[in-house]
Amino acid sequence: MCVRTIVASLLAALALAPSAGRAQQAGDFDFYVFALSWSPGFCDTGGEAKAPGECSVGAGKGFVVHGLWPDNAFRANPQNCQRGVSIPGDALKLTDGVYPDVGLARYEYFKHGTCSGLDPQAYFAAVKALRDEIVIPDIVKAPRERLTLAPGDLTQAFVAANPNLRADNMAVDCRNGELVDVRICVSKDLGGFANCPKVSGHTCHASSIAVTPIR
């Protein structure tokens, strides 16, 4: 995994720099959870009212970024670590084609990104680099028909497609018998995958789940 090489200089400069007004817990976490939402499943399980554009017929969205969340192995997860943050337009440009819409990108930075210790430019650069790095297995890239898969088979498909990824680095999330997202744990320095029993232990335990086709 080479995300760190993609954004290293940017992160090194900004992650270590002090930021006025930053809450004490910002940057104090154990690992990241990189959440990829399966857009059709999100839309089928209540998301259509929240995101009509993403869920419209012809939107053609499969896996989209839900968020990059600072997480802790045993402590409560940090959220909303800094108030009154401004997100520059240049930073938001990095979210094009990564998040399903700019509103979600803004929300995610305020709730989770402010706890990363990174400013918006560095945070969204890291998100984009991760999205470019993670390989989506062919079987779920753009299915046109409804699939039925065991969660463990989907996990193994991700493991096979991404060098160094293991089952204990990720979780498959389901709701009402459908795939809704895949969560991948990433080390705090963005240099590799992270062991995360807290996350992987909550993977979907259904015998099979539906993967709804793209709209």
Radius of gyration, CA atoms only, the chain: 17
- The SS3 assignment for 149 reads strand
- Residue in the block written with tokens 């709804």: 212
Burial class (CB in 10 A: 0-12, 13-18, 19+), 82: middle
Query: How much is the average pLDDT of 103-120?
Result: 97
pLDDT tens, 186-201? 999 999 999 999 999 9
Q: Residues 56-105: pLDDT tens digits?
A: 988 899 999 999 999 999 999 999 999 999 999 999 999 999 999 999 99
For the annotated catalytic residues, the residue numbers are 66, 108, 112
Q: What is the pLDDT of residue 25?
A: 79
pLDDT digits (tens, 9 = 90+) for 20-59: 444 447 999 999 999 999 999 999 998 988 899 899 988 8
Domain ranges (residues) in the chain? 3-12+25-211
> How confident is residue 4, by pLDDT bands cut at 50, 70 and 90?
low
Closest alpha carbon to 9 in 17, 18, 19:
17
In whole angstroms, how far apart are CA 195 and each of 73, 134, 144, 165? 9, 17, 33, 10
- When pLDDT is averaged across residues 158-174 and rounded to a whole number, the result is 98
What fold is seen in the domain 3-12+25-211?
Ribonuclease Rh; Chain A (3.90.730)
